[in-house]
C-alpha cells in the first residue's frame, strides 16, 4: 500500500510512470483510444461500480473547464498532466474516455455524487464534509493553506481580521476550524484567485486563505499583499468517486500504487537513476521568449521543448522550476531544487571553475545587430546609437569595436527581448543580441532586420552539478543523436526561422458589400454570441488572411487560428478546425469566453480586452490591468492605458512581478490595434457604399 507518511508532491511521479503501468499490461486486449469529445456534464444515469463501467466500455471523467489555460507552472507540472494520468488508467482497463466539463470547481463533487460522472479529476481538498458526499482516492499530494492579506494586517491576530473566501471551498471549513471567531465574507462560488487578490489589494477585506501553490505567485506579484501565516493542518488533495463504488476506488488506488507514488523530492541531489525511480526531471529555467512561457493556454519555448524531448526519450515527465532571477539558477541547482539548468547558459571556463558541469553544446550562437532599417555591414553602423543591457557581454563587445565607427552606447536596465521590441516600435535605434533570441523576436515582427553578425561563436549547454555523471552522459548521447537531426531542425525552425510568421499578410481588396469569402457563416456566429460581424471579419483576416488551411508555429489552425486544446474546450473537434464553419464557430466561442472574463467593463472596452486575451491569454491581460493600475493608468481602458502596461510585461522587472509571467507584449498590442484599424476601414467602406446607393449609413 501507499505509505501515507511519504505522500508529498507525488503528482509528477504518478504521471511520469503511468507509461510504465501501460507497458505492464501490453499483453492485454487492444484498448480503445480515449474519446476526444468533451461536453458539459449532463443528467445523471444509472450509477454503477467498475463492473458496470466495464460493461458500458466508457469511463466518464469530470474536470473544470479551461483548467490550466492561464496557469504558468513556476514549480511543478501543468494541469493537463492529471488528464494524462486519468486516461492512462482508463487505457489500462480497456475503457474509452468521455471527458465532461464543469464551469466551476465547486460543481465537481455534485457531479460525482449525483452519478453524472464516475471520477472527478482535479486537486480536490479532502474534508470531512466532502467525505460524507463522495469517496476520495489515496492522496496524490498534500498542500499547506496560507493566510494571505494586506501588509497592514501584519501583526494582528487572525481572529481580528476580516476574511474573504469563495463560497463552497475548503477554505470556508478551514477558517471555521482554525479561526472560528473571524468575520468571514463569502465571495461568489468559483471566484478566480486573481480576482480575490484584486479585492484584497482594493481593501474589500483584510485577508483570505489559499493553497500555498496558488498563493505563492500571487504574493510575489503584489506590492501590497503578504503571507500572514499558515494554517496548522496540511490538507490532502485527491480525486473523487462515488461512495458506493468501492471497486472503482480500489482499482484507482492500485493504479496509483503501480505508478509508484513516492515522497517529495523537491530538494534533492539526484542523478539519472534517482530521476528514473521518481519518474520526473526537474528543469531550472527562466520565464522568457527563448525558454518557457504561456501562449494561448499552451506552454512553449525552445528550451522547454528541447528538454522535454530529452525527458520523453528517458521516459520521464518534465517538471519546470522557474527561478526569479538568472543569478538564482546556480545556487538553486547546487541546493538540489532542480536537476539541470536550461536557460540559454553560455559554456565558459569561469562557470566551470565555479562548480558547474556542462553538457555538449545544444545550440551555437553569435551576437547580431538588430535594427529597423537594414544594416548589412559593420560600416553601416557608423554614428548609430546602440542600446544594450548594462552589465552584459554586449557592452564589452561594443567597446571592442574600432573607435572610428563612432558608435554611441546607451545602457539600459532591460534584457535583449525587451530591447528588440523597443527597436521594433522605433523606441530604440539599434541593439545587439544573441542570434537565437534575435531570430525569435524577428519571427514575430517583420519590421526587424537582423545583421550584421559578429564572428565569435558562443556555445550554449545544459548546466549540471559535478555529481551527476549519469545525467551528463545521457544528455550528451541525446545531443549526439538529435543535434541537427530532423526533430531538432523542426524545433529550431519553429522558433528561429519561421518564415510564415515573418511574411506580411496578403492584401485583400474589398469591393462591394462582401468583406470575406465567409461573410454568411461569420454573420450567424457573431449574432449568436453578440458580436459585430465586421469585427470578427477583421479579426479573422488578422489571424489567417482568410486562409482556412493556415497552421501557426504552435499548432493553431484554421481561419480563426484556434489551438486543438482550445477547440476541445468549446466543443469543436480539432480535426475540423480547418473547415470554415466549425473553425469559425470555435474562434467566436473562444472570443465570447474571453469577453465574459471582463464583465465589469463597458461593452466597447470589453471587445478590446477580449481580443487581447484571445491573442495573449486572459491571465496576461489581467496582469496588465493590475500593472496599469499601479502605474496610475486607467485599468478599464485598453488603448493608451492597459496596452502600455502590456508592453512593460515583456521586461524582466515587470514580468517577475506578474502572476502569469512574461508575455511578448507587442503582439497583443499590435493585434488589437490592427484589428480596430481594419474594422473602422470596413465601417467606412460600407458606409460610403450605402451612401452611393442612397441608403443611410445608419442602417448598417
Cell numbers standing for residue 700? 448598417
Cell numbers standing for residue 35? 474519446
Q: How many CB atoms lie within 10 A of CB 451?
A: 16
Output the CA angle 450-452-458, nearest 5 degrees: 90
Cell 505522500 found at: 7
Contact criterion met (CB below 8 Å) for 240 and 108: yes
Cα-flanking dihedrals φ and ψ of residue 31, to 5°? -105, 140
CA 675/CA 698 separation, integer angstroms: 22
Distances (CA, A) of 322 to 318, 436, 496: 13, 21, 23
Q: How many CB atoms lie within 10 A of CB 437?
A: 24
CA 661 to centroid of chain Cα atoms: 9
Residue 278 CB-half CA count within 13 A: 27
Which DSSP category does 153 fall into?
Answer: G
CA 38/CA 99 separation, integer angstroms: 5
CA 698/CA 465 separation, integer angstroms: 70
Which residue, among 142, 231, 122, 146, has the nearest Cα to 197 in the 3D structure? 146
Q: How many CB atoms lie within 10 A of CB 647?
A: 21
Contact criterion met (CB below 8 Å) for 481 and 403: no
CA 119/CA 100 separation, integer angstroms: 10
CA 91/CA 95 separation, integer angstroms: 6
Cα-flanking dihedrals φ and ψ of residue 148, to 5°? -120, 135
CA 631/CA 627 separation, integer angstroms: 6
Distances (CA, A) of 224 to 145, 165, 656: 19, 18, 15
Cell numbers standing for residue 214? 496558488
Cell numbers standing for residue 290? 527563448
Using DSSP bridges, classify how beta strands 141-143 and 235-241 pair: parallel, antiparallel or unpaired.
Answer: antiparallel
CA 329/CA 344 separation, integer angstroms: 11
Q: Give residue 211's region: left, alpha or beta (phi > 0; psi -120 to 50).
A: beta
Cell numbers standing for residue 520? 454568411
CA 412/CA 428 separation, integer angstroms: 11
Cell numbers standing for residue 681? 476601414
Cell numbers standing for residue 228? 500572514
Considering the candidates 367, 543, 569, 667, report the single residue annotated as catalytic.
543
Distances (CA, A) of 670 to 102, 496, 674: 34, 21, 6
CA 198/CA 194 separation, integer angstroms: 6
Q: Give the end-to-end CA distance of the chain in Å, rounded to a whole number.
A: 69
Burial class (CB in 10 A: 0-12, 13-18, 19+), 155: exposed
Q: Is 201 a catalytic residue?
A: no
Contact criterion met (CB below 8 Å) for 695 and 327: no
Cell numbers standing for residue 239? 480525486
Q: Which residues belong to the active site?
A: 543
Amino acid at each position: 500500500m501507499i505509505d501515507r507518511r511519504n505522500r508529498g508532491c507525488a503528482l509528477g511521479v504518478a504521471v511520469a510512470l503511468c507509461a510504465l503501468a501501460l507497458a505492464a499490461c501490453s499483453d492485454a486486449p487492444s484498448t480503445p483510444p480515449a474519446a476526444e469529445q468533451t461536453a458539459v456534464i449532463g443528467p445523471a444515469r444509472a450509477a454503477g461500480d467498475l463492473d458496470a463501467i466495464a460493461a458500458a466500455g466508457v469511463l466518464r471523467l469530470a474536470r473544470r473547464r479551461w483548467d490550466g489555460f492561464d496557469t504558468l507552472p513556476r514549480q511543478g507540472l501543468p494541469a493537463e498532466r492529471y488528464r494524462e494520468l486519468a486516461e492512462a488508467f482508463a487505457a489500462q482497463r480497456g475503457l474509452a474516455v468521455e471527458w465532461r466539463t464543469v464551469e466551476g470547481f465547486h460543481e465537481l463533487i455534485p457531479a460525482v455524487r449525483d452519478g453524472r460522472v464516475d471520477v472527478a479529476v482535479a486537486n480536490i481538498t479532502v474534508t470531512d464534509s466532502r467525505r460524507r458526499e463522495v469517496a476520495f482516492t489515496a492522496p496524490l499530494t498534500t498542500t499547506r493553506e496560507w493566510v494571505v492579506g494586506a501588509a497592514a494586517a501584519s501583526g494582528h491576530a487572525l481572529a481580528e481580521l476580516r476574511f474573504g473566501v469563495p463560497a463552497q471551498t475548503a477554505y470556508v471549513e478551514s477558517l471555521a476550524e482554525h479561526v472560528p471567531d473571524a468575520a468571514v465574507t463569502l465571495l461568489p462560488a468559483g471566484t478566480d484567485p486573481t480576482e480575490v487578490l484584486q479585492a484584497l489589494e482594493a481593501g474589500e477585506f483584510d485577508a483570505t486563505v489559499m493553497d500555498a501553490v496558488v498563493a505563492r505567485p500571487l504574493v510575489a506579484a503584489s506590492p501590497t499583499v503578504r503571507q500572514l501565516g499558515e494554517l496548522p493542518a496540511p490538507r490532502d488533495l485527491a480525486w473523487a468517486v462515488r461512495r458506493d463504488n468501492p471497486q472503482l476506488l480500489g482499482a484507482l488506488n492500485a493504479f496509483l500504487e503501480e505508478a509508484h507514488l513516492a515522497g517529495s523530492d523537491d530538494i534533492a541531489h539526484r542523478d539519472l537513476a534517482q530521476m528514473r525511480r521518481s519518474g520526473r526531471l526537474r528543469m531550472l529555467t527562466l520565464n522568457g521568449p527563448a525558454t518557457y512561457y504561456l501562449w494561448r493556454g499552451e506552454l512553449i519555448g525552445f528550451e522547454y521543448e528541447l528538454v522535454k524531448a530529452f525527458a520523453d526519450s528517458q521516459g520521464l515527465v518534465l517538471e519546470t522550476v522557474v527561478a526569479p532571477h538568472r543569478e538564482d539558477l546556480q545556487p538553486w541547482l547546487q541546493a538540489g531544487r532542480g536537476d539541470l539548468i536550461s536557460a540559454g547558459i553560455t559554456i565558459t571556463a569561469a562557470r566551470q571553475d565555479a562548480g558547474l558541469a556542462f553538457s555538449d553544446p545544444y545550440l551555437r550562437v553569435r551576437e547580431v545587430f538588430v535594427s529597423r532599417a537594414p544594416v548589412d555591414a559593420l560600416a553601416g553602423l557608423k554614428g548609430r546609437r546602440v542600446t544594450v543591457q548594462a552589465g552584459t557581454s554586449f557592452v564589452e563587445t561594443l567597446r571592442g569595436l574600432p573607435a572610428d565607427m563612432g558608435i554611441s552606447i546607451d545602457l539600459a536596465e532591460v534584457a535583449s527581448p525587451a530591447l528588440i521590441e523597443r527597436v521594433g516600435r522605433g523606441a530604440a535605434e539599434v541593439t545587439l543580441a544573441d542570434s537565437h533570441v534575435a531570430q525569435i523576436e524577428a519571427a514575430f515582427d517583420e519590421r526587424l532586420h537582423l545583421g550584421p553578425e559578429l564572428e565569435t561563436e558562443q556555445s550554449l549547454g545544459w548546466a549540471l552539478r559535478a555529481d551527476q555523471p549519469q545525467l551528463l552522459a545521457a544528455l550528451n548521447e541525446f545531443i549526439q543523436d538529435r543535434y541537427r537531426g530532423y526533430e531538432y531542425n523542426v524545433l529550431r525552425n519553429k522558433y528561429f526561422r519561421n518564415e510564415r510568421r515573418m511574411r506580411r499578410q496578403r492584401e485583400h481588396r474589398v469591393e462591394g458589400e462582401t468583406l470575406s469569402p465567409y461573410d454568411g457563416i461569420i454573420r450567424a456566429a457573431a449574432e449568436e454570441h453578440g458580436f459585430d460581424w465586421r469585427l470578427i471579419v477583421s479579426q479573422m483576416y488578422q489571424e489567417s488572411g482568410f486562409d482556412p488551411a493556415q497552421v501557426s508555429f504552435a499548432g493553431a489552425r484554421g481561419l480563426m487560428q484556434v489551438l486543438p486544446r482550445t477547440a476541445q474546450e468549446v466543443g469543436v473537434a480539432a480535426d475540423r478546425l480547418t473547415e470554415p464553419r466549425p473553425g469559425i464557430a470555435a474562434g467566436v466561442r473562444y472570443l465570447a469566453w474571453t469577453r465574459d472574463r471582463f464583465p465589469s467593463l463597458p461593452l466597447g472596452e470589453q471587445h478590446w480586452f477580449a481580443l487581447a486575451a484571445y491573442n495573449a491569454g486572459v491571465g496576461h491581460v489581467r496582469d496588465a490591468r493590475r500593472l496599469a493600475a499601479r502605474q496610475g493608468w486607467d485599468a478599464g481602458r485598453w488603448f493608451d492605458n492597459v496596452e502600455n502596461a502590456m508592453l512593460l510585461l515583456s521586461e524582466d522587472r515587470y514580468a517577475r512581478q506578474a502572476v502569469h509571467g512574461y508575455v511578448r507584449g507587442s503582439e497583443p498590442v499590435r493585434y488589437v490595434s490592427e484589428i480596430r484599424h481594419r474594422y473602422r476601414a470596413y465601417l467606412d467602406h460600407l458606409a460610403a457604399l450605402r451612401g452611393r446607393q442612397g441608403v443611410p449609413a445608419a442602417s448598417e
